[in-house]
Amino acid sequence: MNSPLSKNKKASWAPLKETRSFIKEVVGRFSTTGAILPSSKYLARAICATLRVERAPWNILEVGPGTGAITREIAKVLRLGDTLTAIEINESFAEHLRHEIQTKKEYAKTKDQIQVLVGKLEDLGGNAVYDCIISGLPMNNFEGEIVKHIFSVFRSLMKPGAPLSYYEYFAIRNLKYPFVPQTEKKRLREVSEIVDEEIKKYQVRARKVWMNVPPAVVRTLVLNPILSK
């Protein structure tokens, strides 16, 4: 029989089937997937803290839901009147997630509030549409120009004062730096410059999550601050 501890442990990480689907897609698509495993329940909870505030109904955008490790947690905290749009570039992930939403009990109460789009965030048009963005995009895998563009897309999609919550693996840019070739060093420097500037100006909260592989930091930024008169 399982001890209560092993039971908890089992429930804390992504289900095996989901992990297998995720790993299958990572092979050959590492630059867009950017992770070796789906996010842990602890990371998912930490990123969803943004939604657990006193608020009116929100239009929420999740970017890069993958197999749904964070989507599941968002579904738990969705409120009446909220909408969740999840945009995923990888068709297999999107199909998997749509199936989960239609069939899993975790989504029973909120499935009519959720839509999954297949496509690139960069192609999602709109101006001041979302009250909150939760992103799983692996920014540290992209070229500097793309990171810059993604921040500008976030900015135009978000309403004034809207929070953007995303995670990056803890100290990953600095840890990788000494071991990679010059071209990769240049790319990492460019990404750091862009991301660090956004963090310096717009970060409102940061929280480390050790219980994830690898450990991560969840950052919340308000890219379009409401300026007081």
Ligand X SMILES: C[S@@+](CC[C@H](N)C(=O)[O-])C[C@H]1O[C@@H](n2cnc3c(N)ncnc32)[C@H](O)[C@@H]1O
- Interface pick for ligand X out of 61, 70, 75, 153 (rule CB under 6 A): 70
Report the SS3 class of residue 195. helix
φ and ψ at residue 67, rounded to 5 degrees: -85, 0
Taking residue 203's Cβ as centre, other Cβ atoms within 10 Å add up to 14
β-pairing, 83-88 with 59-63?
parallel
In angstroms, give the least distance from the CB of 4 to ligand X.
Answer: 26
Q: How many residues bind ligand X (CB under 6 A)?
A: 23
Report the SS3 class of residue 16. helix
Is the CB of 43 or the CB of 223 nearer to ligand X?
43
Find the binding residues for ligand X in span 84-123 (CB under 6 A).
87-90, 93, 120-122
Is the CB of 66 or the CB of 163 nearer to ligand X?
66
**Residue type for position 217:** V
- Position closest to ligand X via CB: 64
Quick note: the x/- pattern for ligand X over 27-46, rule CB under 6 A, is -----xxxx--xx-------
64 counts as binding ligand X under rule CB under 6 A: yes
Stretch that binds ligand X, among 1-9, 108-116, 131-139, 173-181 (CB under 6 A): 131-139
Is the CB of 40 or the CB of 224 nearer to ligand X?
40
In angstroms, give the least distance from the CB of 182 to ligand X.
Answer: 25
How far apart CA 120 and CA 107 sit, in angstroms, is 24
How far apart CA 58 and CA 11 sit, in angstroms, is 29
Is the CB of 90 or the CB of 165 nearer to ligand X?
90
Quick note: the x/- pattern for ligand X over 132-171, rule CB under 6 A, is ----xxx---------------------------------
DSSP collapsed to 3 states, 140-157: HHCCHHHHHHHHHHHHHH
- 105-141 residues labelled b (16+ CB within 10 A) or e (exposed): eebeebbebbebebeebeebeeeebbbbbbbbbbbbb
Chain residues that interact with ligand X, rule: CB under 6 A = 32-35, 38-39, 63-66, 69-70, 87-90, 93, 120-122, 136-138
